[in-house]
Amino acid sequence: EDQVTQSPEALRLQEGESSSLNCSYTVSGLRGLFWYRQDPGKGPEFLFTLYSAGEEKEKERLKATLTKKESFLHITAPKPEDSATYLCAALDNYGQNFVFGPGTRLSVLP
């Protein structure tokens, strides 16, 4: 069965304190790995897609990387506005089944 796990469940950082979020996946052939940001009371907002091991994508203070078993979302010098829940999702090789992880709730304190 396809599965996605994320760690840690929650993370508190001081402003400027860099860290990484982990997403581990078990899918029958990975077609794509996706990162989303979700603010309270809102729908998830797309951040990145990664398709193959070794691939990296960057956007402002965020960088996503992918290996054959996991993905990392690196946050460099975070700001309070980066506080949100970060979700990762895996798409299987059939291209039909998106499996989301439980998310990491990030709080960045000023």
**What is the rounded distance in angstroms from the CA atom of residue 87 to the CA atom of residue 73?**
10
By the criterion CB under 8 A, which residues form the site for other proteins? 31-32, 34, 36, 41-46, 49, 85, 87, 89, 91, 95-100, 102-103
Nearer to other proteins, 5 or 18 (CB): 5
Please, what is the minimum distance in Å from the beta carbon of residue 66 to other proteins? 14
Nearer to other proteins, 26 or 97 (CB): 97
**In terms of Cα–Cα distance, which of 9, 6, 15 is closest to 78?**
15
Nearer to other proteins, 25 or 34 (CB): 34
Q: How many CA atoms lie within 13 A of 88 on its CB side?
A: 26
Please, what is the minimum distance in Å from the beta carbon of residue 77 to other proteins? 26
Nearer to other proteins, 72 or 100 (CB): 100
Please, what is the minimum distance in Å from the beta carbon of residue 64 to other proteins? 13
81 SS3 class: helix
**What is the rounded distance in angstroms from the CA atom of residue 30 to the CA atom of residue 68?**
9
End-to-end CA distance of the chain: 41
